[in-house]
Structure 1
Amino acid sequence: MWTTFVMTLKTNLRNRQSLFWLIVFPIALATLFNGLLGNLAEGYELKALPVAVVEDANWKASPGAKAFIDGLSGKGDDNGAVGGGAVGGEDGAADTTGEGSGAAGENGSAGVNVTVTKLLDAKTVATLDEARARLADGTAKGYLHVDADGRIRLTLSSRAAEAMNGPTATDSNGAVTVAALSGVIDLYNRTDAATRDLLRRHPEALQARAFWSSIGDIADTTRETTLTNSTPNVMARYFYALLGMACLMAMGYSITAVTSAQANLSALGIRRTVAPLGRGRQLAAGFLASWLCSDVSLTIALAYIRYVCDVPLGGREPAAVAAVAVASFMACAFGTMIGAIPGLRHSVKIGLTSAIPCTLSLFSGLYGGFAMQLSDWITRHAPVFALINPAQQVTNLFYDILYYDDYRPFATTCGVLIAMSIVFLAAGVAMLKEQRYEHL
């Protein structure tokens, strides 16, 4: 059995076709993905929005608003008052709200101390007409002004709004920045309105230091947090689906191991059939050698994706290596079942090692946006089909590692793949036991 294991191992290492599909192909495709999608994550980063700030009479009457916008623009101290704003639109311009920070003023403007990211690239103008001219010539995507009630309003140009949220949206950075601005401007406006109302009813609070300190504590009610084990990565899904397809292609090794032991498919099979070593031990040695080769090959591809393409694994690289071992075991079991199918030539069975992974990968999201949406739809509305799709389950292995806080979902997915392996192996053994030859 050991000799059979070693010889099968050597044969697999000389199989250039299998080595290509398990190492070269995923590395080449991962390199292509990295080149095409490398800047995709940058589309979701916060970048300063170019705006015009209208410094009219209302603006000058609200010193807290100036400190607020300065904080968002990265001017002066990093601390300021955080608030929020209402949405107002005029002249067909699209309106939205945003995020910022500002300082407390003695005239009743609310102030909250907080450190914020630079969200605005602000240029001052004297009137609304000048601000609209900036929107018209494209030097600003929006303008900020203070209304008669002291609320900060952000108005976007129609062109900018369509680029961020229209059917042909191209400015994803702007959309993310405006979404971030929305929360802080809204907080500023609500805090400012509440402070003015309270001071109107209790003017003595203006002299109380504890009152102004309590307003500053509002910043502590909002904290940055994450709901997943690791920061979501928009590119990772493509690479995980690629690993799912590459793992399924590993079944080529076990197909060859099974067919080489069948007397009706090759001369080698005839010799092995009459050899003193039993068929079961021959198949076990071939299966283990195939599993080892596929596991090592796919681990090399995983290392390239992780460290060269910089696809995150949530700091759980050892678990990812274990995931590859489980996935390659399932693939070899799948290959054993296919290799045991009677009546199919070896070339046909080898052809299935490409056809099956390519087909199943469509439903795991490998082929772009449409495939991703199809995969999501199946997971939501037909979860049974996602459960029985080996490519989807291998993809889920790496999702479980990256996003979940504990290893229970990962262990569950491993259990599903091991159950698949048992079914595949049982079917393969059942078919092999029924095979008989009239003559050799």
Structure 2
Amino acid sequence: MWTTFLVVLKMNLRSRSALFWLIVFPIVLATMFNGVFGQITEGYDIKPMSMAVVKDANWKRTAGAGAFVDALAGKEPSSDATTGAHEGTATGLDQQLIDITTVTSTAEARRRIADDAVQGYLNADGSGRLRMTLSSDTAGTATSSDGNVTVTIAALHGAIELYNRTDAITRETLEDHPTAAASARFWRSVGDAAGLTREVTLTNVKPDPIARYYYALLGMSCLMAMSYAVAAVTFAQANLSALGIRRTVAPLGRVRQLLAGFLASWLCAGTSLLIALAYIRYGCGVLLGGREPAAVLAVGVASFMSCALGTMIGAIPRLPHGVKIGLTSAISCVLSLFSGLYGSFAMELSDWITRHAPVLALVNPAQQVTNLFYDILYYDGYRPFAATCVNLLVMSAVFLAVGAILLRRQRYEHL
């Protein structure tokens, strides 16, 4: 059995086509993904905008405006932050939204915009409300293709609106209840309500919209690894190869021969997927949420399922080896379409199937392998990951059972 294991292992390692499709192809395609999509995520990060702050008479009468703007700039509250209507709003931001340039009038701020020195300005009106004015170029960029500007403007607008609402509520409360100004609890409540803008996540790590393409690539690579098991089973069949004839008359039983071939194929498939996973993780920088050991376990489960499916296909009688290899390639390409590998349309199709026909997604091996890594990255716990592993192991049991039935029924009139 050990000799058969080594023979099948050497045969797999000498297969140039298998090495190309299972190692070279995933690396090349992952490199293409990294080149094409690598900058998309960065395009939606918040980057500070250059803004002029008009510190005129209205600004000086607006209590807390300076502290608020310093918070937007990621600084400690400035010296002009006074106690009063906005004592509780001088909370800092974890994310810097603006770079400050101080001016004394709106006319000067407009000149700075005309000279392209700033992208807009902030000022206070007579009622103490803050207003944001953007240059025409900045506004045009925000409505076109610059995701950074769009996200930053949205966050900045939300922070200013929150400040103005808090200002209005605070002033109204103090007019109705003047004694509230002496209450520390009141000012703490104002500060809690004016928490400004903070980044939160509902998933294990920050979502990466491009990661799904890499996961779908791993799903396709996993199915392509069926070729190892297909070859191991095909070359053990007497009617399909000379090697199969010799193995049939060998003293080693068929079960032990197939088990040795399966283990060798599983080792090759798992190693190939680990190489692709390592390149995606460390070469392309696609995170796994700090759960690399779980990803290694996922590779083991996925490659086991792939070899089980390859065993079933390899056990199909009378089909030559070349036809079976072509069948594995066709199955891999078709099922990868429904797991979202081929662009945004395929991703939308995969999402639609998951929502409206979940059974089809459940029986799609490529989708389930994709879900393995998706579960690792995004979910707080391991329960969804464990459920997907169980589903793949059930698939493996079914594939192996069908393969065993097909192999058991095969008889030869002569060798």
TM-score (norm 2): 0.90
**How far apart are residue 322 of structure 1 and its match?**
0.6
8 Å contact 1:104–1:111 — kept in the other structure? no
**How far apart are residue 214 of structure 1 and its match?**
4.4
| 2:152 paired residue number | 177
**How far apart are residue 294 of structure 1 and its match?**
0.9
Letter of the 1:424 partner, please give it.
F
1:420 lines up with 2:395 in the alignment? yes
Secondary structure at the counterpart of residue 207 of structure 2 = coil
- How many Å separate the matches in 2 of 1:133 and 1:359? 59
1:431 lines up with 2:406 in the alignment? yes
- How many Å separate the matches in 2 of 1:175 and 1:58? 29
| 1:120 paired residue number | 98
- How many Å separate the matches in 1 of 2:318 and 2:114? 73
Q: Higher mean Cα deviation, 254-263 or 185-194? A: 185-194
Determine which of 317, 320, 327 is the counterpart of 1:345.
320
**How far apart are residue 227 of structure 1 and its match?**
1.5
| 1:10 paired residue number | 10
| 2:44 paired residue number | 44
**How far apart are residue 273 of structure 1 and its match?**
2.1
| 2:131 paired residue number | 153
| 1:85 paired residue number | none
1:197 lines up with 2:195 in the alignment? no
**How far apart are residue 162 of structure 1 and its match?**
5.0
| 2:19 paired residue number | 19
Map 1:220-235; keep pairs closer than 5 Å: 224-235=199-210
**How far apart are residue 248 of structure 1 and its match?**
0.9
8 Å contact 1:54–1:131 — kept in the other structure? yes
**How far apart are residue 384 of structure 1 and its match?**
1.6
- How many Å separate the matches in 2 of 1:188 and 1:378? 43
Per-residue CA distance 1:73-123 (angstroms, 9 max, x = gap): 24xx42479xxxxxxxxxxxxxxxxxxxx94544x3454242212201344
Per-residue CA distance 1:224-245 (angstroms, 9 max, x = gap): 5431122222332221111111
Percent identity over the alignment is 65
Secondary structure at the counterpart of residue 153 of structure 1 = strand
Gaps of 5+ in 2: none
Q: CA RMSD in A?
A: 2.7
**How far apart are residue 301 of structure 1 and its match?**
1.9
- Decide whether aligned partners of structure 1 residues 325 and 208 sit closer, same or farther in structure 2, where only a CA change above 3 A counts: closer
Q: Higher mean Cα deviation, 400-409 or 377-386? A: 377-386
Letter of the 1:401 partner, please give it.
I
Letter of the 1:427 partner, please give it.
V
Determine which of 358, 376, 385 is the counterpart of 1:410.
385
- How many Å separate the matches in 2 of 1:381 and 1:140? 49
Per-residue CA distance 1:177-218 (angstroms, 9 max, x = gap): 123223322321122112111222233444555544443344
**How far apart are residue 320 of structure 1 and its match?**
0.6
Map 1:44-83; keep pairs closer than 5 Å: 44-74=44-74, 77-79=75-77
Map 1:205-284; keep pairs closer than 5 Å: 205-208=180-183, 211-218=186-193, 224-284=199-259
TM-score (norm 1): 0.85
| 1:385 paired residue number | 360
Secondary structure at the counterpart of residue 285 of structure 1 = helix
8 Å contact 1:54–1:125 — kept in the other structure? yes
**How far apart are residue 40 of structure 1 and its match?**
2.3
- Decide whether aligned partners of structure 1 residues 27 and 231 sit closer, same or farther in structure 2, where only a CA change above 3 A counts: same
- How many Å separate the matches in 1 of 2:328 and 2:272? 16
- Decide whether aligned partners of structure 1 residues 384 and 124 sit closer, same or farther in structure 2, where only a CA change above 3 A counts: same
Determine which of 288, 292, 299 is the counterpart of 1:317.
292
**How far apart are residue 128 of structure 1 and its match?**
5.4
Secondary structure at the counterpart of residue 115 of structure 1 = coil
- Decide whether aligned partners of structure 1 residues 273 and 162 sit closer, same or farther in structure 2, where only a CA change above 3 A counts: farther
| 1:33 paired residue number | 33
Per-residue CA distance 1:146-193 (angstroms, 9 max, x = gap): 3343222334456544543x4xx4111122212322332232112211
Secondary structure at the counterpart of residue 39 of structure 2 = coil
Q: Higher mean Cα deviation, 145-154 or 339-348? A: 145-154
Tell me how many residue pairs correspond in the alignment: 414
**How far apart are residue 356 of structure 1 and its match?**
1.9
| 1:91 paired residue number | none
